[in-house]
Amino acid sequence: MTASQRALELLSTAANAADAKQGADLVALDVSEPLPLADIFLLVTGRNERNVVAIAEEIEDKLLETGVKALRREGRAEGRWVLLDFGDLVVHVFHEEDRMYYSLERLWRDCPVIPLELANERTA
């Protein structure tokens, strides 16, 4: 099983929104095989708590503009790890320290990485 076209479209919007707010080290994982509830995880790093919250808000705003509302959101108040659940797409915006500590890439290392094409082509 692979990620749906809808999930890939959501991913593109979310990744470009994160990139626009200087999100770093963007990694998209196709989790459709082991996880029945989501197709893609997008992992993003923010430099500090304010940046983490700004990235999360930009992602929510840009997806809302396309008619997609977050089903759940967690962690915004702390600004360390914000989780945005859009159904097919789950976005994890981490503070640098928390990203290293939780190391979701390691936990999901068997899942394929989805290449990202960012509008401004800035590499993280």
Where do the domains of the chain lie?
Answer: 5-114
> How buried is 60 (Cβ within 10 angstroms: 0-12 exposed, 13-18 middle, 19+ buried)?
buried
Residue type, 35: L
Question: Interior CA angle at 93 toward 37 and 90, to 5°?
Answer: 15
What pLDDT tens digit does each residue of the chain (124 aa) get? 688 999 999 999 999 999 999 999 999 999 999 988 899 999 999 999 999 999 999 999 999 999 999 999 999 888 999 999 999 999 999 999 999 999 999 999 999 999 998 987 554 4
**Under 8 Å between Cβ of 105 and 4:** no
In the CATH scheme, what architecture does the domain 5-114 have?
A: 2-Layer Sandwich (3.30)
25 vs 7: CA distance, rounded Å: 20
**Under 8 Å between Cβ of 26 and 105:** no
| pLDDT for the residue 62 | 98
Q: What is the pTM of this model?
A: 0.92
